[in-house]
Amino acid sequence: MPLPSRPRYVALDPEHDFLKRMEFPRSDEELLYGLSRSPFALERIRCARELASRGDNRIVAALLRSLRTDRFWGVRAAAAASLGEIGRRSGGLSDRIAAAASEQHTRVRHAVIWALGWIGDDAALRRLKRAVATETSSFNVGLALLGIARAGRSGAFEALQAEVGRETHRDILRSLIFEGMAKLKDARALPIFLEHTHPRFRNGR
Query: What are the pLDDT digits (tens) for 44-99?
Result: 999 999 999 998 999 999 999 999 999 999 999 999 999 999 999 988 999 999 99
Is residue 129 assigned to a domain? no
What percent of the chain clears pLDDT 70, i.e. is strictly above it?
Answer: 98
Is residue 131 assigned to a domain? no
> Are 148 and 96 in a shared domain?
no
Is residue 8 assigned to a domain? no
What residues make up the domain containing 46? 23-124
Is residue 37 assigned to a domain? yes
Q: Is the pLDDT of residue 18 over 90?
A: yes
Is residue 7 assigned to a domain? no
3-state secondary structure string across the chain: CCCCCCCCCCCCCCCCCCCCCCCCCCCHHHHHHHHHHCCCHHHHHHHHHHHHHCCCHHHHHHHHHHHHHCCCHHHHHHHHHHHHHHHHHHCCCHHHHHHHCCCCCHHHHHHHHHHHHHHCCHHHHHHHHHHHHHCCCHHHHHHHHHHHHHHCCCCHHHHHHCCCCCCCHHHHHHHHHHHHHHHHCCCCHHHHHHHCCCHHHCCCC
pLDDT digits (tens, 9 = 90+) for 137-161: 999 999 999 999 999 999 999 999 9
